[in-house]
Amino acid sequence: MSTTRNTKGRGTRRKIATTRTLRRKIAGTGRSTARQPSGIEARLVFRIVAGAGSALLLLTILMVLPWRWLAPPTSAFMLREQVFNAKAIQYRWVSWDRISPYLSIAVVASEDQKFPVHHGFDFESILQAMEEKKNRRRGASTISQQVAKNLFLWPGRSYVRKGIEAYYTFLIESLWPKRRILEIYLNVAEFGPGTFGAEAASRRFFHKPASRLSLWEASLMAAVLPNPKKMSAGRPSTYVSGRAMEIRTWVRKLGGARYLSGL
């Protein structure tokens, strides 16, 4: 009788062990199955991020590329002046051949002397600007960077804006030739309160089209670019006149308008 009981006990223990083993396997299978969706979700997230990045890249290219051939009807800075400051603006687009070559070289001499040779960024000037935070006569932003800022962005010094500016500068340098970059800058830069572009500024301050600007007049216009709301090319202060003389000296050192002949 004891033998029968032992046999039954062993059989019962085997069944319990088998049941536990099955439960562990089922539980293990469940855990394996639960891991699979996380891999699928990771791939899905990657595809969404990649798709969003591709869409953003395409959108920004479409924002930049048309102005290689078309005249921008406005800019972010002009819209800001109209919307936030409720001011009327003066803006009239003119092509490259209707802008005095004196203004082109004066602006380059004043704002970005390495413009013909750099690829959007003047790293030497950037390093100098970091070392000399005070008493700088010229900033470290290139003409290409200023075009990116004026057309698409807002004023400010935040790292976020600077990062976006760098991205648009890269696109502009990749999609436009150098002459087009300078042509657009001369047309959208603010030369006085609410006065954008060479033509509007020339007519306002000197009562003549931009094509007839002299070197002195062009140097006065270039001199006010760092702060056009406070400085005037039409009624130059002692500082503006002195800066204009410096710009004329830089123009001569660069070789005059011939410096830009290769653009």
pLDDT per position as a tens digit, 11-59:
555 555 555 555 665 555 544 444 555 778 888 887 888 888 889 889 9
Shared domain check, 176 and 92: yes
pLDDT surpasses 60 at 131 = yes
The Cα 84–Cα 79 span in angstroms is 8
Joined together, the tokens standing for residue 106 give 């004066």
**Domain ranges, residue 78:** 73-260
Residue 196, helix vs strand vs coil:
strand
Shared domain check, 86 and 45: no
User: 155 pLDDT band (50/70/90 cuts)?
Assistant: confident
What is the number of structural domains in the chain? 2
Given the structure tokens 């750099």, which residue do they identify? 118
The average confidence (pLDDT) of the chain is 86
Q: Which pLDDT score is estimated for 203?
A: 97
Domain boundary among 37, 70, 103: 70
User: 10 pLDDT band (50/70/90 cuts)?
Assistant: low
Shared domain check, 212 and 113: yes
Residues 225/231/235/240 CA torsion (nearest 10 deg): -70
- pLDDT tens digits along 166-200: 999 999 999 999 999 999 999 999 999 999 999 99
| Closest among 249, 263, 229 to 87, alpha carbons compared | 229
The Cα 228–Cα 189 span in angstroms is 9
Query: Strand runs (DSSP E) across the chain, as ranges?
Result: 90-91, 190-192, 195-196
Query: Strand runs (DSSP E) across 86-241, as ranges?
Result: 90-91, 190-192, 195-196
What proportion of the chain, given as a percentage, has pLDDT over 70?
A: 80
Domain boundary among 40, 70, 100: 70
**Which stretch, 119-128, 137-146, 199-208, has highest mean pLDDT?**
199-208
| Closest among 79, 75, 80, 20 to 188, alpha carbons compared | 75
pLDDT surpasses 80 at 153 = yes
The Cα 202–Cα 217 span in angstroms is 9
More confident residue, 52 or 208: 208
The Cα 248–Cα 219 span in angstroms is 6
Domain boundary among 70, 97, 119: 70
User: 3 pLDDT band (50/70/90 cuts)?
Assistant: very low
- pLDDT tens digits along 88-112: 899 999 999 999 999 999 999 999 9
Joined together, the tokens standing for residue 8 give 């039954």
Neighbours of 128 (CB within 10 A): 13
More confident residue, 28 or 260: 260
The Cα 63–Cα 75 span in angstroms is 12
| Closest among 122, 127, 103, 102 to 112, alpha carbons compared | 122
Shared domain check, 80 and 185: yes
